[in-house]
Amino acid sequence: MPMSMNQEIFNFFTTLVERVSGISFQAGKEYLLENRLTELALTLGYKDLQQFYQKVKIGLTPTLLNQIIDTLTTNETYFFRDQHPFEAIKNHILPDLIQKREKEKQIKIWSAACSTGQEPYSLAMLILEHFSKYLSTYKFFIYATDISQSALKKAKEGVYNQIEVNRGLPVTFLVKYFKQEGSSWRIDERVKSLVKFDYLNLLETERKLKEKFDLILCRYVLIYFSKETKTKVFTSLWNTLNKGGYLILGATELPSFTPQDMEKKLLGKTVVYYKKES
Ligand SMILES: C[S@@+](CC[C@H](N)C(=O)[O-])C[C@H]1O[C@@H](n2cnc3c(N)ncnc32)[C@H](O)[C@@H]1O
């Protein structure tokens, strides 16, 4: 093993993190785990990873566990990631849902594993930009969840640096929906007010989440799970989707199986999984 971390420490942390979050560190990821955990250990004032491990082994507090999960999640994201799913939402999915929910006048969207907020805020800006005429009659609710407390804190603040706003966000949207504060950009209250952020571990979806959604985005998170966890999480996503609703995964991700009521649709360049109504 090309590392100074011994097998016992590697096994301890990988088992802990997979049990809690589903994130599976395969052999070959030792250096990543070691680097991130060593950095956390030093930040928290421990001499090295060995000393941190001894502490965690005998007294793992909820705060420490959160810090370990935070450190080991990959929070890579950007505004309008992959672009074409947002085209599909604008051109096909929202027009269809608006029509279907004419009676309820409510459209519920879930950004599952929202990281630092760019995905749900992109959805909110898309609604403000293209569906504003429905805002007085329909309630658009965007629920955005993640397991990383630090990612959620940043998401709730809605403040992004220049590099982050340069990634995927059209300049017209930056001007219209952000306010500059020194070298950072704060997202507008109009955008924020459409999104509700919450802590949610995807392994606990069905136990914790009592609502169902018309559109679910769960992108670039299943890739971190084992086959078994992927199936479990995918099942709970499917069960959380309303009939007539849509599920969007990351471009490289596939459903674990094909439920009977699933129809795979190609909307523009985006593959979506539609839940049949009957
Ligand atoms: C690579 S980011 C993807 C963010 C966003 N969906 C996107 O596509 O840009 C993966 C996110 O999944 C979250 N995550 C990992 N395991 C999770 C779990 N068990 N429950 C909820 N979120 C989880 C991480 O904290 C991270 O923010």
Instruction: Express each pLDDT in 145-168 by its tens digit.
Output: 999 999 999 999 999 999 999 999
For ligand 1, the distance from its centroid to the CA atom of residue 114, given in whole angstroms, is: 6
The enclosing domain of 17 has a CATH number of: 1.10.155.10
- 137 and 216 share one domain: yes
Report which ligand 1 atom has the smallest distance to the Cα of 69: 25
- The tally of domains found in the chain comes to 2
- 173 and 259 share one domain: yes
pLDDT at 259 over 60: yes
Give percent of the chain with pLDDT exceeding 70: 98
How many Cα atoms sit within 13 Å of 131 on the Cβ side? 25
- 111 and 60 share one domain: no
Give me the pLDDT at residue 236, please.
Answer: 97
Give me the pLDDT at residue 1, please.
Answer: 45
Residue 78 lies in a domain: no
Question: Which residues does 173 contact at the CB level (< 8 Å), separation at least 6?
Answer: 79, 125, 129
- The residue contributing the CA closest to ligand 1 atom 5 is 114
- 98 and 214 share one domain: yes
Other beta carbons within 10 angstroms of residue 201's beta carbon come to: 15
- 187 and 262 share one domain: yes
> Is the separation of the CB atoms in 190 and 177 below 8 Å?
yes
How buried is 111 (Cβ within 10 angstroms: 0-12 exposed, 13-18 middle, 19+ buried)? buried
Other beta carbons within 10 angstroms of residue 10's beta carbon come to: 20
Give percent of the chain with pLDDT exceeding 90: 94
**Ligand 1 pocket test, candidate residues 16, 71, 73, most atoms within 8 A of CB:** 73
Band of residue 6 on the pLDDT scale cut at 50, 70, 90: confident
pLDDT at 4 over 70: no
The enclosing domain of 196 has a CATH number of: 3.40.50.150
Which of the residue ranges 6-10, 97-101, 103-107 would you say has the lowest mean pLDDT?
A: 6-10
Domain extent, residue 213, equals 84-275
> Is the separation of the CB atoms in 187 and 177 below 8 Å?
yes
Residues framing ligand 1 (Cβ under 6 A): 21-23, 73-77, 81, 113, 115, 119, 146-148, 151, 201-203, 219-221, 224
Residue 77 lies in a domain: no
Other beta carbons within 10 angstroms of residue 151's beta carbon come to: 20
Give me the pLDDT at residue 2, please.
Answer: 45
Residue 267 lies in a domain: yes
Q: Which of 277, 220, 211, 215 is nearest to 246 (CA)?
A: 215
The residue-averaged pLDDT of 127-142 equals 98
The DSSP code for 28 is: T
The residue-averaged pLDDT of 48-64 equals 95
- 140 and 179 share one domain: yes
For ligand 1, the distance from its centroid to the CA atom of residue 233, given in whole angstroms, is: 12
Q: Encode pLDDT of 7-38 as tens digits.
A: 899 999 999 999 999 999 887 888 889 999 99
For ligand 1, the distance from its centroid to the CA atom of residue 25, given in whole angstroms, is: 15
For ligand 1, the distance from its centroid to the CA atom of residue 102, given in whole angstroms, is: 32
